[in-house]
Amino acid sequence: MHKRAGMALVAISLAGCGSAGRGTDGVAVAEAAAVPATAPSRRFAAAADRGELWAYVSGGEVLREQGLRWHRIGLSEAHARSAVAGGRLRLRTPAGRRLTAHYERDATAASGDWTWIGRIDGEAGQGRVVLTFGATSAYGSISQPGGTSLELTTRDGAAWAVESDPAGAASIAAAKAAAAPDFLIPPAPMSGAARDGDGATMAAAAPATSATGSYTPPSAVIDLVVGIAGPNQEAMTTKLNQMVAVGNDLLFQSLVNARLRVVRTVPVNYASELSSRAVLERMSGANGVSVDPAFDGLRAARDAHGGDLVVLLRDAGNSTADCGAGWLIGAGGRGIAAGDSGYGYSVVNAACANTALMHQVAHNLGAQHDREHAGIDGAAVSGAYSYSYGYRYMSGQYPSGSFLAYEADRYLWGGSVFSNPRISAPCGWTDCGQAGYADNALTLNRTTPVVGAFRNETVRAPAARDDYNVDGRADMFWHNAAQAQFSYWRAGGTLYASGAFHAPWRKYQPIGLGDFNTDSRVDVLWRDPDNGSLTVWTAHEDGFVEGYIGETASGLGFVGVGDFNGDDNADVLWRDLAKGEIVVWIMRGLSVAERRTAPMPAWFEILGIGDFQGRGLSDIVYASANDVNLYVNLNGGGFAGVRITARPSGWKYAATADMNDDGREDMFWLSPNGDALSYWLMNGPTIQANPSLPVVPGQSFVTARNYSLAPGAELIWNRPPRSGESWPSMGHEYVGAGGRRVTDYTPYPPDWKIVVPL
């Protein structure tokens, strides 16, 4: 789905700017962060953690098939879960090489499948580890520095480690080269399509450029509707989750500012021994072939759920010699336009490598194989641009290649990134591409925003802020500065029933909450007040893992956290009062990918950050002495200042939350003497209504969050101790058509404070 263009370095002028510049008693606590459970509850991959991810079955068989060797293993999901907190995952290759993978992140899919992602540091490159564990199966991809890839797969109810067989690799590679291409070329586009000189679609706004004129890639989310054709839907869903995780890691490592998102899976009753190319024609209804009725439901799901691309994942096994096929949109350097959406289809054989889905989706995005394997009938066919090729480097001791360089997907070193001349780490002693010759990363950075707009977005993630356990409801976070303790209440819970205690460094201060790894769990941003260093506690199912942002913000004042480019990764907002501007750190995980600025003269007060347009992008509320304004996020391409209304005299901006459950956040205000709470129901910069409520004497407003199952946000109130009580209490109130409904108040130790960032 289209996730807005990248924010320009200089934003539109502000509204109202003109030409001027203006521990606790009785509570047991743990001394360290909780460690994820060491024994997974699933029955598959249930081997005990004995210090390695897997153990080879004693006397186990080794199967040799189609240039691969299969080794039976006992798999331990428990080891992977322990490696979240411990930071190290260990495994041994069939050749006896011991590898250590450093934990980076993990994610839980809607199906419950759990994915672990990390890296293997090598002398001349970096390997990747992506593992996905399901209820009845597990899959994984391990790229070794200086070696060929390993795969973890499931077969006949058992786990296997799969490696290439040197004895058969050459013949398999030759068979691949001789086989029919795994892509189809769309017919020439209709006349009148607006394209630039190198085939790029001309957008309404030109791509952002830096001061040197280099291309700044925008963000995009490619929404997938996936048909699953096979008898074991559960295992194939786990395989799909692995394939998407591998694909997103490939994009991330290749510096492609886009990601894949599955918005719908559809069972498809279709069994055929036809080639993937033939199935692709029947699914997409092209080249004079009618749409097979078996795909009617899948095609309808694309329209209903906003699928930019459609993938058929079929359990073809060895019934076909190919691993899939996709339309090579933009072939011959034509670029990609909105009118190409009818070719957004691909077919993937689930029996093939875990990279197979990304391989075919990449064709839909205009990326092509290396030049030696990009031909039809002996003639090379480029992707969307003249440089849209994979890269092979066959000289020297370490032959290597990028992803989509045909043998590199399994047989060469370096296949864990798209061709990109700007990086070299995964490719040993050579760059991973060649400028103007083999640069699929640049191709994807240019085409993904177009493909990501093939369909309007219809599936949105839950709008709840501060959601720790991914249930669509906000959770409440607490900090005890005196005791250096941190805890949380899960939605609907209490400090005692659902909280876990964690111990930050005593001087650290929690300054922000946001999702820094796009797993839909809220993470905690901490700052050392002495040296300004930043730490992120990444949330996991059973606790937090500490990581560091290797940047400092000298001379900048912290404002808050939001998503300013629509990639679902939390970004950090700073203010430079001396220069009269805001500075946005566009984050990729815990790394600062870009620094973007926009004017914000010192006389303006920043009041809040929120998505007031309901588009997955953060806007900024700011005010002068006389006016309240909204810095409207222009699809990630900058800001435009718009006046909302006159500033209510003496009223204090109190919170940002979605009160009426319309997908747009609203603004909360407290009266000068604190006896009334007003909330402005917003539609962008327009106030649709502004109801007010009296505040119960003695209570104080804390914030508003979607804390219960009721639609919209609740009001969070603090109540001091009453007669016979020694502790204050926290309660939440729902305001709906039936009036006000207050929950029972929950007492809490007085030295704990709720964490409520801007």
DSSP string of 589-626, one letter each residue: TTEEEEEEEEE--TT-EEEEEE-SSSSS--EEEEE-SS
pLDDT 10s digits, 406-438? 764 443 444 678 999 988 766 655 678 899 999
* Confidence at residue 501, expressed as pLDDT on a 0 to 100 scale: 59
Chain-centroid distance of CA 433 in Å reads: 25
List, in sequence order, every residue forming a beta bridge with 640; answer none if it has no partner: 632
Q: What is the pLDDT of residue 730?
A: 86
| pLDDT over 70 (residue 33) | no
Higher pLDDT, 567 or 74: 74
Residue owning tokens 């205690």? 501
- Average model confidence (pLDDT) for the chain? 81
Residue that wins the pLDDT comparison between 59 and 672? 672
Average pLDDT of 120-148?
82
**Model confidence at 620: pLDDT above 60:** yes
Model pLDDT for residues 197-222, shown as the tens digit of each residue: 333 332 322 233 332 233 344 457 89
107 has which bridge partners? 115
Instruction: Provide the pLDDT confidence category of residue 174 given band limits of 50, 70 and 90.
Output: low
User: pTM for the whole thing?
Assistant: 0.63
User: Whose CA is closest to 268, among 222, 245, 242, 236?
Assistant: 236
Residue ranges in 231-288 assigned as alpha helix (H): 233-253, 276-284
Q: Which long-range contacts (CB under 8 A, 24 or more apart) does 106-110 make?
A: 106/519, 106/540, 107/245, 107/517, 107/518, 107/519, 108/470, 108/519, 108/541, 109/241
Instruction: Provide the pLDDT for residue 271.
Output: 86
pLDDT at 204: 27
Segments in 440-568 forming alpha helices (H): 440-451
Asked if 655 contacts 678 with a C-beta cutoff of 8 angstroms, the reply is no
CATH number of 476-754: 2.120.10.30
* Class of CATH domain 179-207+218-451: alpha beta
Radius of gyration of the chain (CA): 27
Instruction: Give the whole-angstrom CA distance, residue 3 versus residue 201.
Output: 17
The burial of 234, by beta-carbon neighbours within 10 Å (0-12 exposed, 13-18 middle, 19 or more buried), is given as middle
558 or 492, which is more confident: 558
Bridge partners of 224, per DSSP, are 262, 309
Predicted local confidence at residue 674, as pLDDT: 92
pLDDT of residue 545: 82
The residue behind tokens 């075919």 is: 360
What pLDDT is attached to residue 197? 32
Q: Residue 356: is its pLDDT beyond 50?
A: yes
pLDDT in tens, 461-520: 544 688 887 777 788 898 888 888 888 887 654 443 345 556 677 688 999 999 998 878
Is residue 172 very low, low, confident or very high in pLDDT (cuts 50, 70, 90)? low
pLDDT for res 224: 97
**Domain extent listing, the chain:** 54-164, 179-207+218-451, 476-754
